[in-house]
Amino acid sequence: MGKTIFSKIINREIPADIVYETESILAFRDINPQAPVHILIIPKIEIPSVKELSGKEHSKLLGDMIDAANEIARKENISQSGFRLVFNCGADAGQEVYHLHLHLLGGRKMNWPPG
């Protein structure tokens, strides 16, 4: 599978506004934000989408992604007011980049159901 734009961000081949990094996780601001806070939380290993995840194999990684989301939400001051976490999986959900990513959105009131 070819490298996605997110692999290039991980490898510092293209710039991004990185807000959080650990050995396994990177998080950076979305280039086209849909809310005042819109951050993408990604694993450093290449996994195309949620479909390739299993609870058994990836529980540590998923836990790390949730820990990242909570820590970033606190730093961005949206932890109290609330935030949304989204995985888009596949064409109908509007997934554009086939490197797993968790959207962290906040800083405004959001609607439900989503469009």
Contacting residues toward ligand 5GP, per CB under 6 A: 5, 16, 28-32, 40, 88, 94-97
Find the shortest distance in angstroms from Cβ 40 to ligand 5GP.
Answer: 6
> Which of 56/110 has CB closer to ligand 5GP?
110
Q: By the 8 A CB rule, do 105 and 35 touch?
A: yes
Q: Does residue 58 have an active-site annotation?
A: no
In the complex, minimum distance from the CB of residue 69 to ligand 5GP, in angstroms, rounded to a whole number: 15
d(CA 67, CA 4): 24
**CA 96 to chain CA centroid, nearest Å:** 13
Nearer to ligand 5GP by Cβ, of 24 and 95: the residue is 95
Q: Which of 38, 58, 99, 101 is catalytic?
A: 101
Nearest one of 99, 21, 41 to 12, comparing CA atoms: 21
Cis amide prior to 48 (ω within 30 degrees): no
Name the residues annotated as catalytic. Answer: 101
